[in-house]
Amino acid sequence: MFKIITAILFSTFSLTAAAQRVSVEEYIEQFKDIAINEMKRSGVPASITLAQGILESENGNSELVKKSNNHFGIKCKSTWSGESVTHDDDATGECFRAYTNADESYRDHSDFLKFNKRYSSLFSLDPVDYAGWARGLKKAGYATNPRYPDLLIKYIQQYDLQQYSLAALNKLPETDITKADEVKNVLPIETI
């Protein structure tokens, strides 16, 4: 009887845990506006910000996000004077920045790139050159994973994240739906 109850509880827990995971699409929907606003404020492409958030935070499901709201895996370094947590990454018990909420994490990510000399060359790139930005982040030492640029590019292409950079630049192409709405508004309304 004990084994049956344990199996039922384990199954229930597993289903609940799986149901609570955030999908990539849900993550994008939740954070796309913040990424767009941060691009307007700082110049960091929204597509890059979202791709990094997806990758670094496991779409908001990582342990680091759960305990610190750190969506970008930014470590403390010597200049950080804010809240922090320890987390195992490249080494055991590394110091990571902690934030009150995701908005703070997104803002700090933009500032971290914008005001850090080692990333300054990125800002001479076209903001829609996501491949250049992805490779530049790796070259500047943002991540140790040799596949980092490829993973960012894959997410940007797979989830059409470039549209959010274009939206921030007011360069989104008109969709057929928008054109159809415009035509509807121009045509005279027939009366019976």
pLDDT in tens, 63-97: 999 999 999 999 998 889 999 999 988 788 899 99
Element (DSSP H or E) covering residue 133: helix 130-139
pLDDT value of residue 132: 98
> How many Å is the maximal CA-CA distance in the chain?
76
Mean pLDDT of 87-116: 94
DSSP letter, residue 24:
H
CA distance 68 to 97: 7
pLDDT value of residue 54: 98
pLDDT band at 141 (very low <50, low <70, confident <90, very high): very high
pLDDT value of residue 4: 54
pLDDT value of residue 84: 94
pLDDT value of residue 90: 78
Dump strand ranges (E) for 5-66.
none
DSSP letter, residue 43:
-
pLDDT value of residue 15: 46
**How does pLDDT run across 151-170, given as a tens digit for each residue?**
999 999 999 999 999 999 99
Alpha helical stretches, state H, 58-129: 63-68, 102-114
What's the whole-number average pLDDT of the chain? Answer: 86
Residue 22 structure tokens? 């955030």
Given a cut of 80, whether residue 10 has pLDDT beyond it is no
pLDDT value of residue 184: 42
- Residue, of 3 and 31, whose pLDDT is higher: 31
Percent of the chain, pLDDT > 70?
80
- Residue 2, beta-bridge partner list: none
- Residue, of 154 and 11, whose pLDDT is higher: 154
pLDDT value of residue 179: 47
DSSP letter, residue 97:
E
CA distance 122 to 137: 8
pLDDT value of residue 187: 47
pLDDT value of residue 89: 82
Given a cut of 70, whether residue 6 has pLDDT beyond it is no
